[in-house]
Amino acid sequence: MPNIKSAIKRVKTTEVRNAQNTTVKSSMRTAVKKVEAAITTNDSTTAKNAFATAASQLDKAAAKGLIHKNAAARKKARLMKKLNVL
């Protein structure tokens, strides 16, 4: 544990931000998995609704800097490609 006051504050803020980032990233991954699960069961309406949620989650994660914006675009494009085949 650091002794300097500002270093103590940095440790606390890092822990809080790390928890928030983990939550956002986890919900993003879950949303993507729901889309893929709906696609494998050939449920187009559920897949479309899940895709809208997943796209939103991916955009939010990219905006916060958790993933690169091109990575988010790539994931959305691949999901959309699978959805269009369905």
CATH code where residue 22 lies:
1.20.58.110
Q: Which residues, including other chains, have CB under 8 Å from residue 1's CB and lie 6 or more apart?
A: 8, 11
Number of compact structural domains in the chain: 1
**Helical ranges in the chain per DSSP H:** 5-40, 44-64, 69-85
Between CA 25 and CA 27 the distance in angstroms is 6
Between CA 79 and CA 18 the distance in angstroms is 27
Between CA 57 and CA 79 the distance in angstroms is 13
pLDDT tens string 22-68 = 999 999 999 999 999 999 999 999 999 999 999 999 999 999 999 99
Q: Which domain holds residue 11?
A: 5-85
Q: What is the pTM of this model?
A: 0.86
pLDDT tens string 12-24 = 999 999 999 999 9
